[in-house]
């Protein structure tokens, strides 16, 4: 089944403790992206990647890092999480830069206390 898999689904952590949210897709998509979803703000892009070793900042990249060492994986790294990064995070992938729509993961609900 074609899908985008995120782990974990739920995570509670403390301020300053480094964490990684994994994202993997099995569709051989070139384009992958991370979004955060917050009430009243909709979806905002954090980082995106056009292909292996090619990443760029989205609208709200501060406090996040990403890497794209393999085509299928696009982990989101929070080096020193803060409470304002408490949010629902979605990974998405697409071929051709999104022209045919994105496939989204199930989301990761992160709480930073």
Partner 1 sequence: AQRVTQPEKLLSVFKGAPVELKCNYSYSGSPELFWYVQYSRQRLQLLLRHISRESIKGFTADLNKGETSFHLKKPFAQEEDSAMYYCALSEVGNQAGTALIFGKGTTLSVSS
Residues that bind partner 1 (CB under 8 A): 31, 33, 35, 40-45, 48-50, 54, 56, 58-59, 90, 92, 97-107
If phi over 0 gives left and psi between -120 and 50 gives alpha, with beta otherwise, what is residue 96? left
For partner 1, the closer of residues 48 and 112 by Cβ is: 48
CB of 19 to partner 1, least distance (A): 21
For partner 1, the closer of residues 17 and 91 by Cβ is: 91
For partner 1, the closer of residues 15 and 70 by Cβ is: 70
Contact of 47 with 61, CB cutoff 8 Å: yes
Query: Phi/psi of residue 72, each to 5°?
Result: -80, -20
Contact of 49 with 69, CB cutoff 8 Å: no
CB of 93 to partner 1, least distance (A): 11
């Amino acid at each position: 089944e074609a899908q985008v898999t995120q782990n974990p689904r739920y995570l509670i952590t403390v301020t300053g403790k480094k964490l990684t949210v994994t994202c993997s897709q099995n569709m051989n998509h070139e384009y992958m992206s991370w979004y955060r979803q917050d009430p009243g703000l909709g979806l905002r892009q954090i980082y995106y990647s056009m292909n292996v070793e090619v990443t760029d900042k989205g609208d709200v990249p501060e406090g996040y890092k990403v890497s794209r060492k393999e085509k299928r994986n696009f982990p989101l790294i929070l080096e020193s999480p803060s409470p304002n990064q408490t949010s629902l995070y979605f990974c998405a992938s697409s071929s051709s830069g999104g022209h045919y729509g994105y496939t989204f993961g199930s989301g990761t609900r992160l709480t930073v206390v």
